[in-house]
Structure 1
Amino acid sequence: MAPAHDLFPETTYQRASYHDLRRVTNGFSRSNLLGSGTFGSVYKGVSTNGIIWAIKVFDMQLEGILKTFDTECEVLCRLRHRNLIKVISACSNPDFKALVLEFMPNGSLEKWLHLDHHVLSIMQRLDIMIDVARGLEYLHYGYSFPIIHCDLKPSNILLYEDMVAHVSDFAIAKLLGGGESHVQTKTLATIGYIAPEHGLEGLVSTRCDVYSFDITMIEAFTGKRPKDEMFTEELSIRRWIQESLPSSLALSCTSDVPENRIIIKDALTTLEKIKTQFLQRNKG
């Protein structure tokens, strides 16, 4: 992996300084806090000319945080896709590390699904999941080597002002190389969205992302979190869908056996067909 100082060799913008980021976030004030996660906090930053950024500040007290920062830099600085969050710049000092990211004014899919004053139409939900599938397709097949997100969930899907979805938070992403189909990891993703082989054996592959994508899609259309109180060891969110909709697309994405899951390309094709059929039925 490239060292931090080599991550932006061809960029035309200047590297952000700690003092610049402190100034645009009003001293990293709580009033500018957009949210906190496992690896740090995200602040809203407003430049003197009115440009808004999202400043992701990494928690330097965490073990392995330097590798986490380098991983996210490695992924985000290499990739450019409409449905992946865009990195603007970065700040990397011995005692402070942050990424300057494109600001998403409509927040996360999680907020839209679970806050009472937010309402999404069926078409909006479908468009969001198509956007996410396109982002994952690019990660898995559109670059010179496959990239596994490893932690896809509604809080990591951010919405621009036109509601176009962007996959974000690549802190535990894995890059495959040399013809690898899977890698071993000690880092666990979020319970409820994590594929069985990831949670039990630490094995991650592109099929893990497909599993997480499907759980996220079920949540997007039903409003039920995988850890909802209605779900138990006897009734998981997958089994609930299986009993309610036995021919659902969801079941071909969440098989316990990774090889039995469809790839994200096929999931995207199916969703696009569903959208076409939906539009045709609702003409006029």
Structure 2
Amino acid sequence: MWPKRKIQLVASSAAPGIKGVRAVLKGIQLECSELEPSAEDLLEEPSECWMEKPFPEMCKSGEWQPVTELAYWPEALEHDSWRKRALAQGINQLPIQSLIHNLLEDELVLWISEPTVLIDGRPLLGHILEMAGFEPTILWPRADGEWQCERKQGLHWLIPESWLEGLVDKSRLGRRVQLRENEQTTWVVRETQVDFYRCTRRHCYLGHMPRWPEPLEEQMACQTIALCLDMGVSWLDIRLALDTLWKTTRMVDNMRWKINDFGWNNGTCGEKISTEPIEHLEDWWAR
């Protein structure tokens, strides 16, 4: 029986990006342990090769679990002792870049620029895609400095650009997201609303939203919404995902954002309809 996959991270606890790596491995439920390069006990496994141990001994509860892969950061290259022991025991060694590339090889990766707009502590892009049914996996730092990885069933991974900066070439990580060919979404900021258009041979009006509640975030929010539209998210899904932001706002003159997607609601200014009963109904029909 081949042992369960287990990763040993050989890196300083302050290595760049290590918190994100921990979150990813935890999110995909891949067991891992960490090792400081200067530690004396470089492997959890004793000097005897785990492949030479009797099978019953390997299956004992509470016993050691063999390491199957060692992933190391560049600064750990100067330490050769752990590499020699891993080589002697037949354990695969790979740089952290290769590990991340292997884990995300078949995923559609979307890099999120920072700073970005957050809703409930998560990026706006992840919030919209989640509400639209894309079920993206979101890797993001929490307010307390730790990282979390919300693993979902969709193919999209949302990753901040600062993660593993300088270690991973983001242009080669995972698969590229296919956007609409020859069609890009643009927007026009007006006094009370933001209009969105699809640029083809002529501008096609998609809809509008009220001005963003935080003025400093409006440009970033519009860029995110335009990206979602380019990915194929419907205006209805975007509207539903963001409707709670303006739940206290009354929109009666133009109902395109909230209800009516077919044009202006001319003449509807919130007038109250009379509740008085109609008298002389027979005479009314006779007119």
TM-score bracket relative to the smaller structure: under 0.3
Q: TM-score, normalized by length of structure 2?
A: 0.25
TM-score (norm. length: structure 1) = 0.25
Q: Larger strand proportion, structure 1 or 2?
A: 2
Greater share of helix residues, 1 or 2?
1
